[in-house]
Amino acid sequence: MQVFEKGRYRVRLATSPEDLAAAQALRWRAFVGARGGARGEARGGAEAPAESALDADDFDAICRHVLVEEIAGGRLVCCFRLLPLKDGSEIGRSYSAQYYELDALRDFNGPMVEMGRFCIDPEVTDPDILRLAWGAMTRFVDEAGVEMLFGCSSFMGTDWEGYADAFAVLAERHLAPKRWWPRVKAPKVVRYARALIGRRGDPKQAMLKMPPLLRTYLMMGGWVSDHAVVDTDLNTLHVFTGLEIRAIPPARARALRLVAG
């Protein structure tokens, strides 16, 4: 993916250890500092003050990291990482496979990419940043011939009942196709689809409470697992999310490619 600029922002891949450290620091602020999660390490692995803490794991070394920066000053405002897989036979290598039993996806016979650790600086609210991030993803998908995009979509906090409308709408309209069904693997989950049988969620409240990244997945034809994993480290609930590229409505695909330039 080549560097590109739109408006106030530049989008590029990380190219140095310093770039990766900047992404890990932003991730810590977004996932741990802003949400009150339990994790936070300095480079040496010990507990660290917020100004030096990083969100890091072993997957960072095998992923490509996308950065969205302000052109003036170079401030990092958004990042995410990508793990390309040749097809479903490699699904066990993914971050998501730690938390979901994904054997059904082993039969997917096209290139895949896992999108993970997506975050925007908690102090920034510009909606153009999310659009640019999806523009970058579109470039990557087109260049690599990706046929499925997947990852974990996170809700802040672990009180699932506070998101009951959102989960009811997910259960009613957006569950995974049976052929790709993600099954339970994590020790602590919320089986929301079972708990909310027959409940119709308020669509307006559901959209307000869903993470922006998940809303975008759904608008493009994405689907989710029937259960949410409780992540006490990051103080989140997350659902497995998949999107077959061929399912994206043509008008939305054209709009994404316009952003990607």
Going by C-alpha positions, the residue among 116, 115, 119, 114 that lies closest to residue 78 is 119
pLDDT of residue 44: 38
Q: Are 122 and 29 in contact (CB under 8 A)?
A: yes
Residue 149 tokens read as 């995009």
Instruction: Using 50 as the pLDDT threshold, list the residues of the chain that sit under it.
Output: 40-48
The predicted structure's pLDDT at residue 45: 41
Give the model's pLDDT for residue 52: 65
Question: Coil, helix or strand for 25?
Answer: helix
The span from the CA of 99 to the CA of 5, in Å, is 36
Distance between CA atoms of 217 and 249, rounded to whole angstroms?
12
Q: Which residues of 70-79 are buried (b: 16+ CB within 10 A; e: fewer)?
A: beeeeebbbb
Residue 151 vs residues 5, 167, 243: alpha-carbon distances, Å = 26, 17, 9
Domains of the chain (ranges, CATH numbers): 4-260 (3.40.630.30)
Cβ atoms of 232 and 32 closer than 8 Å: no
In this predicted structure, what is the pLDDT of residue 255? Answer: 84
Indicate yes or no: pTM above 0.85: yes
Categorise residue 117: left if φ over 0, alpha if ψ from -120 to 50, beta otherwise. Answer: left
Write down the pLDDT at residue 43: 37
pLDDT for the residue numbered 50: 53
Question: Under 8 Å CB-to-CB from 51, ≥6 apart: which residues?
Answer: none
According to the model, what pLDDT value does residue 51 have? 55
Q: CA 41 to CA 50: how far, in whole Å? A: 9
